[in-house]
Amino acid sequence: MLARRAATMAVPTIPSPACISQSANGSIISTRRSTETNPRQHPSTSYRCAGRVVRRQGRSAISRSGSRYLHDLEAGRSLLKRVTLRRDWDSRLDEKDQYPRLGARAAATFEAKPENAEKDYSKNGKAANKGVDNGKDRLAKVPISNIRNFSIIAHIDHGKSTLADKLLQTTGTVLAREMKEQFLDNMDLERERGITIKLQAARMRYVDETGEAYCLNLIDTPGHVDFSYEVSRSLAACEGALLVVDASQGVEAQTLANVYLALESNLEIIPVLNKIDLPGADPERVRREIEEIIGLDCSEAILCSAKEGVGIPEILNAVVKKIPPPKDTAAEPLRALIFDSYYDSYRGVVVYFRVMDGRVKKGDYVQFMNSKTEYQVDEVGVLSPIQMPVNELYAGEVGYLSASIKSVADARVGDTITTVSRKAAQALPGYQLATPMVFCGLFPIDADQFVELREALEKLQLNDAALQFEPETSSAMGFGFRCGFLGLLHMEIVQERLEREYGLDLITTAPSVVYRVHCTDGTITECSNPSALPDAGKRKSIEEPYVRIELLTPKDYIGPLMELAQERRGEFKEMKFITENRASLVYMLPLGEMVGDFFDQLKSRSKGYASMEYSVKGYRESKLVKLDIRINDEAVDPLAVIVHQDKAYSVGRALTQQLKKLIPRQLFKIPIQACIGSKVIASENIAAMRKDVLAKCYGGDISRKKKLLKKQAEGKKRMKSLGRVDVPQDAFMAILRLEKEVV
Amino acid sequence: MNRLFFLSQSPPRILNSLNNPPLTSLNLLHWIFTHPISRSVDYGHRFRSGRGIRSQHAESATSHLVAELMSPSQRPGSARGENLVLDDENVPTASSVYVHIPFCRRRCFYCDFPIVAVGERTDTNKAHMDAGMTDYVDLVCREIRLAAKVNSSKPLQTVFFGGGTPSLLPPPLLLRIIDTLHEHFGIDSGAEISMEMDPGTFDVHSLRQLMDGGLSRVSMGVQSFQGALLESCGRSHGLSEVYEAIEAIHASGLNNWSLDLISSLPHQSLQDWEHSINEAVKASPAHVSVYDLQIEEGTLFNKWYKPGQSPLPSDDNAAEFYRMASAKLQDAGFAHYEISNYAKEGFQCRHNLVYWNNLPYFAFGLGSTSYIGGRRFSRPRKFKQYREFVEQFESSGGVIECPQDSTEDRALDVIMLSLRLARGLDIQAFSQRFGAGLSTLVCKALLPFVSSGHVVFLNADGDILDTEVIKALVQDSRVFGLSRLSYVRLTDPNGFLLSNEVIASIFSALPSGENSQYRACLCNLVDY
């Protein structure tokens, strides 16, 4: 109670230092503006959540809530449409430019100024005072000892994006008039869902109280670490991290996972307690939580409210003081770590990187050490957060380059850039190829859209090295693709982008994981499509991927969550109380059990309070069987599922019962059976259709009757056949949804 | 892309090869329906190129189909203008009239017809009510006069007064309409003049009065022989009025009368229904109509009930009602000549047969639909708009702006209407009118229903053909396979009960606008 009051009391007193430091920075006007706009800028999270929930309603999608999205890191990684941002910026920065798409032209107008600034800087030695132009000084070079590279790590909705906004604003990197909420989340999808899908980087200039100018590079990471590879690359590009924890919610699963990653990369971690302005904020409790759970010293934790602009100068000062500068290795052969890349239709792949050693400039021939491809650099620049070309980047700096690279696959995240003429001896450690973990079939509802779907997938793949697809045909659904995704969020985002940006109507089959099948002839095959599973006679055993899953929950929900994990064949590993009221549960769980509605269940059984994180831990042998669904004595491939032997009966029963409800009556009686091999384990019957007649005559007005019949006929044309049985489109969709729920 | 493919590939292929694979002919058919403009252009020069059209017909069913499906106005080289209506042999002159009398005492809960609820007739509102009805009859008579003037017609064979409750109209007013018809169209001496009557709205005197004026048939809306059921569907009469009305008809000496029932009412049990049919038979009408309750949008029933859910009978029970009616009425000597109509020998409703045979008819009054010159036109369903319509109709000198049915639509009408009849669809007549190709498609679409026992094919001798025989005949690529088939009809009661399913299947098999199946085939051709 006391703490809360203290927090609210603090609010009015803090803005003044903020103003002082900002005026030192020369951006008084923008600061004022930004404070004026504050009331409108709402705590991103709650509003965004609301918007998201509304949007998601009615969709049977697997997930509804935020941290769901934490589940795939890469999901977002390669997906962001940054081209849009770049265009926006080009046009905004040079309003006379009639051809904003031609980035080079807009960019050219910048190049002159930064160089002047650099001269100014060298003359004055210290801070340049340039009023609102100050932001542009960020191109000025500073000594390596004045560079700070850091990222912000947080659980979803703990205010990472809002804090990033405030940092950009306070340093004058983004002027108030250009500011929009969640500045770095510039994809429609990101804004709507309130998540960061694609990460960004921003170079900021900060002048501290002593007048010393610093170059701060903020590397934004997506909130999710479940497939932690790409987040780990981003963190590897930094020397420090701000750990943002919601002062009312406390430590969540992602917070922990993030911190561990940051510690692995030996980062200096600065704890920040955000949202202290909220009535429910309890900084003292959260401070204790961080100390107890993570073991970080929180005596100097910064209290902040990104929304209200409280504590921002303190954060900037802490970044400068606590985070170590990069090592001065500019003389060594070039090694630059790619932490992101995307495809631009005008310039090829644009790579975001951090120079670890050496220097890189325009015109250099560079090699990507893991993909072994070589290109000549067309352009290097910094991200601030728009792309601003510069002549050269050296060790410690963060920036981008474009080199007419054909595909994202040539410049994957984690790869090391070196120069051809002076190659580095060793690539930077930690490179991995992304492997799809979840597969599903994507089929156009309208067979006409098959070509469009293929084109759309090809386009997405240019920008998303992790997306895989191959053509698939199904008697029930026609032509489509079997697509591989990094995880469920990735899958969902790809589906949604296909539907939204490419205007496609899609049917998706139940997601499946990759099984490893040991055959009797000694071979091992990987199988992600139940209908392609080798025959029972040829199989010796099946292995399935397992994940280690950690759930953080208030203690009241431990029971229901344990029940959930047990139902999903979870193997209990450990449970510990991290505070009096909160516990951590660790389970080993088959990934296949998680691709359904696990997350929704987690949220509903814990009334939304539990959070989770998982990582794939390899394959294990399981007693899996293929469950065939036979409709009218014919196996229906898209309905086949791979399930654990013990669950086959219940799944089979549930499926047949639901199918009975969904499949409309036909002319003849239809048996629906669930079988393992030739053994029927569940069976239902749909009675023959009895009556479908319009007996009324409408006094000679047959047009209405005809309209009804035509509508009925139209429905028939869109029927999907399950074996010999025709079902209407919507029933078919319901059947596919059903699988996701039942299995 | 598909369309381009169609335009560039399809026509030459068809014209070059005389033995087309079945898929191509389907594509062509589809193409014809989806490209109404290009067909006259594309085929134009080919048909003008001097080769005899008829000789091609004999060789190729496909090109036969092309010619058949092009209406005269679209046939290249045709001297007729676009506005010319139809060949005379296709549209016989109308000799039937439907007159809508919209007045009812109250609206029944299931009713969505255009009606005007006028309440009970009392001394205080009598004058007002009569004035309103006179006003309406005036309007109808004005419409009749003008319609007779601008359309050629023969003396009327059938006249039908439907409603509403035509028997609410004072007999002199109704007779005025008959007189007007007589004066302007002429009524054949043997014509059937039919009228819907509700129990409680007439007595033997008013009936006699009407019969003297020419009324020859009555269709009485009894609906049910359970007082509770009558009440639950909002009928304005009780059971006693039903029996009084039956007595009045008998007393009047009218033989040709129909008793109308509704099945599948809420709370109706199988016993209730059996009782209603028994009572109906006991009343010894010449004709019985059994309508299955439809829950229409905008009705109270639609607000209260959901089809197939209690208190409405389940689909299975509703089907049982239908079977029972069919069996019991046929036992009692009624022939099941149409899905919902039963008649003693010689007492089929001639006016309704006009509808089912897709023949033209005039229609007058609120919300009524006429079918003249291949144009179906529905009049406004609101009183005010109807008045405006009549005034506009007069001021324009009898012009009704309404598009003519397409060939495709007419084919669908014939299929849909003739399959309602026990006689079924006359395959030969259909082939002649719409082409053997379309006929084949229809027959093919019906094949699955033959094996399931919902449809039977008959040869010229009236024998039911064996499934295998029909298959062989229909699959026969040559045109004369069809000539062995004479009629196709729904079986009673199973086929009738699934008539929508059967007809919708035919509709979906016919190429109309979109047909994803064919397009999917094409898609594959293009992409692989």
Q: Bridge-partner residues for A87, per DSSP?
A: none
Cβ of B376 within 8 Å of Cβ of A703? The answer is yes
The answer to whether the beta carbons of residues A118 and A140 sit under 8 Å apart is yes
Helix residue spans in A72-102 (DSSP H): 73-77, 82-93
Measure the CA–CA gap between B486 and A51, rounded to whole angstroms: 64
A378 among annotated binding-site residues: no
Closest CA–CA distance from residue A663 to any residue of chain B (Å): 15
Closest CA–CA distance from residue A729 to any residue of chain B (Å): 13
H/E stretch holding A508 reads strand A506-508
User: Would you place residue A182 in the very low, low, confident or very high pLDDT band (cuts 50, 70, 90)?
Assistant: low
pLDDT tens, position by position, B285-331: 999 999 988 888 888 999 999 887 888 998 888 999 999 999 999 99
| pLDDT score, position B516 | 36
- Write out the DSSP string of A455-514: HHHHHHHHH-TT-EEEEEEETTTEEEEEEEESSHHHHHHHHHHHHHHS---EEEPPPEE-
Closest CA–CA distance from residue B266 to any residue of chain A (Å): 17
User: Would you place residue A32 in the very low, low, confident or very high pLDDT band (cuts 50, 70, 90)?
Assistant: very low
Length of chain A: 743
| pLDDT score, position A176 | 58
User: Would you place residue A97 in the very low, low, confident or very high pLDDT band (cuts 50, 70, 90)?
Assistant: very low
Read off the tokens for A324.
């170590």
Report the relative pairing of strands A240-246 and A268-274 from DSSP bridges.
parallel
User: Would you place residue A500 in the very low, low, confident or very high pLDDT band (cuts 50, 70, 90)?
Assistant: confident
Contacts of B288 in chain A (CB under 8 A): none
H/E stretch holding A527 reads strand A524-527
| pLDDT score, position A55 | 39
Residue A145 in this model has a pLDDT that exceeds 80: yes
| pLDDT score, position B473 | 80
Report the relative pairing of strands B187-197 and B217-223 from DSSP bridges.
parallel
Residue B53 in this model has a pLDDT that exceeds 70: no
User: Would you place residue B525 in the very low, low, confident or very high pLDDT band (cuts 50, 70, 90)?
Assistant: very low
Coil, helix or strand for B402? coil
Per-residue b or e along A79-113, where b marks 16 or more CB atoms closer than 10 Å to that residue's CB: bbbbbebbeebbbebbeebeebeebeebbeebeee
Cβ of A696 within 8 Å of Cβ of B368? The answer is no
User: Would you place residue A495 in the very low, low, confident or very high pLDDT band (cuts 50, 70, 90)?
Assistant: confident
The 8-class DSSP code of residue A292 comes to I
Measure the CA–CA gap between A452 and B81, rounded to whole angstroms: 43
Contacts of B378 in chain A (CB under 8 A): 701, 703
| pLDDT score, position A186 | 53
Q: Bridge-partner residues for A348, per DSSP?
A: A344
Average pLDDT over residues A532-540: 84
pTM value is 0.59
Of A148, A131, A181, give the one whose Cα is nearest residue A22.
A131
Closest CA–CA distance from residue A672 to any residue of chain B (Å): 20
Measure the CA–CA gap between B165 and B147, rounded to whole angstroms: 24
- A715: closest chain B residue by CA: B508
Domains of chain A in start order, with CATH, are 138-322 (3.40.50.300), 335-419 (2.40.30.10), 438-509 (3.30.70.870), 516-622 (3.30.70.240), 627-634+646-740 (3.30.70.2570)
Residue A303 in this model has a pLDDT that exceeds 50: yes
A17 among annotated binding-site residues: no
Cα A516 → chain centroid = 27
Q: Please, is B441 exposed, middle or buried when counting C-beta atoms within 10 Å of its C-beta (0-12, 13-18, 19+)? A: buried
Count how many pairs of residues, chain A against chain B, have C-beta atoms within 8 Å: 134
Lowest mean pLDDT segment, chosen from A119-123, B90-94, B245-249: A119-123
Cα B528 → chain centroid = 46
The answer to whether the beta carbons of residues B98 and B351 sit under 8 Å apart is yes
Lowest mean pLDDT segment, chosen from A50-54, A226-230, B375-379, B402-406: A50-54
Percent of chain A clearing pLDDT 90 (strictly above)? 16
Contacts of B497 in chain A (CB under 8 A): 690-693
Read off the tokens for B40.
């006259």
Cβ of B1 within 8 Å of Cβ of A718? The answer is no
Closest CA–CA distance from residue B381 to any residue of chain A (Å): 12
Residue B85 in this model has a pLDDT that exceeds 50: no
Residue A164 in this model has a pLDDT that exceeds 80: yes
Average pLDDT over residues B248-254: 94
Q: What does the mean pLDDT of chain B come to?
A: 79
Cα A229 → chain centroid = 12
Coil, helix or strand for B251? helix
A441 among annotated binding-site residues: no
**Among 1.20.120.50, 3.20.20.70, 1.10.10.10, 3.40.190.10, what is the CATH number of B96-357?**
3.20.20.70
Read off the tokens for A294.
């993570």
In degrees, rounded to 5, the angle at the alpha carbon of residue A135 between the alpha carbons of residues A131 and A139 is: 130
Cβ of A667 within 8 Å of Cβ of B448? The answer is yes
Residue A644 in this model has a pLDDT that exceeds 50: yes
Coil, helix or strand for A469? strand
Cβ of A710 within 8 Å of Cβ of B412? The answer is yes
pLDDT tens, position by position, A76-94: 333 333 333 333 333 333 3
Read off the tokens for A385.
């957060």
| pLDDT score, position A178 | 61
Question: Which of A668, A703, A716 is opposite residue B508, by nearest beta carbon?
Answer: A716
A157 among annotated binding-site residues: yes
Closest CA–CA distance from residue B357 to any residue of chain A (Å): 11
Report the relative pairing of strands B257-263 and B335-338 from DSSP bridges.
unpaired
In whole angstroms, how far apart are CA B70 and each of B39, B78, B84, B403? Answer: 9, 11, 14, 17
Cβ of B378 within 8 Å of Cβ of A708? The answer is no
Residue B195 in this model has a pLDDT that exceeds 80: yes
In whole angstroms, how far apart are CA A173 and each of A161, A164, A178? Answer: 15, 11, 10
User: Would you place residue A227 in the very low, low, confident or very high pLDDT band (cuts 50, 70, 90)?
Assistant: low
Cβ of B416 within 8 Å of Cβ of A450? The answer is no
Cβ of A709 within 8 Å of Cβ of B291? The answer is no
| pLDDT score, position A26 | 33
Cβ of A668 within 8 Å of Cβ of B368? The answer is no
Cβ of A699 within 8 Å of Cβ of B368? The answer is yes
Q: Which of A661, A693, A697, A717 to mutate to test the interface with B (most CBs of B within 10 A)?
A: A693
Residue B94 in this model has a pLDDT that exceeds 70: yes
Measure the CA–CA gap between A505 and B256, rounded to whole angstroms: 58
Of B119, B218, B137, B230, give the one whose Cα is nearest residue B176.
B137
A464 among annotated binding-site residues: no
Measure the CA–CA gap between A420 and A417, rounded to whole angstroms: 9
User: Would you place residue B250 in the very low, low, confident or very high pLDDT band (cuts 50, 70, 90)?
Assistant: very high
Instruction: Provide the ipTM.
Output: 0.73
| pLDDT score, position A743 | 58
